[in-house]
Structure 1
Amino acid sequence: MKTMAILIGMAATLATSDGFRCYSCEGYKEGSCGESFTASSTVYCYTACYKSISTVNVLIGSVITYSRGCHGTNPYSMTCDKIGGGIAGIGADEEKCYCSTDLCNSASNLLPSIVQIVMVVAAAFFFQKF
């Protein structure tokens, strides 16, 4: 009986991963994948969803493209990374954000960042007592 209770307890702690859905699209700032997001195509994912905003600057203006989908591998963290480079007047910037919940790569998604900040502050306050 004791063995059965231990086995049930161990089985209850096993985590299963069924994956989640990510929006999947590519397009310009004005399109359905851009700022006024209305795309509905989804893909099934086991790693992380992403949203990427790329800006290519040229001498006469800039081109902004959006991309959303399933990231091929697990990113280091579920945050946003910004990279860029180029010479004066010409260059490119990209901001890529990762998340791991169902359809989390839609419009601007600030909730995970806010939740993380609150949790860090709460943990710091809690551990300060010890």
Structure 2
Amino acid sequence: MDTMSHLREFGAVDAYLKECASRTVLAAIANKWTCLLVDALQDGPVRFGELRRRLDGITQKSLTQTLRTMERDGVVVRTVYPTIPPRVEYSLSELGQSVVALMAGIRRWSEDHVPEIMAARDRYDLRAAEDPRPVPVD
């Protein structure tokens, strides 16, 4: 019996399997806005407007959708206070707190390696312009 069949038979979680639910989780946390929101929320509750100002370039629609997805996944807690006008704050759940170090690490790695990545992109683009190769088709 091969490993894939064995995993399917016992319902194991394996993101390499097409139908595995962990792929939806991976897609949700691999989102750039999710990564930045987890980092922005790590120190406690934050209001929507503060998040929008902190995450330069995010649209209101993207922020709303990402927060809803994170709330649905149990990563974010949305608290509505009965004031006029209503006050809403977002914070990380216990599950959300468990991914803080990972997301902060990804953000730091991204910031630390910008020069290397940009230089690699420039080298690649120069080579591609000088020697355009056909893209292989699977």
TM-score for the superposition, normalised by structure 2: 0.28
Higher RCO, 1 or 2 (CA under 8 Å, sep at least 6)? Answer: 1
TM-score for the superposition, normalised by structure 1: 0.29
Q: Considering fraction of residues, name the structure with more helix.
A: 2
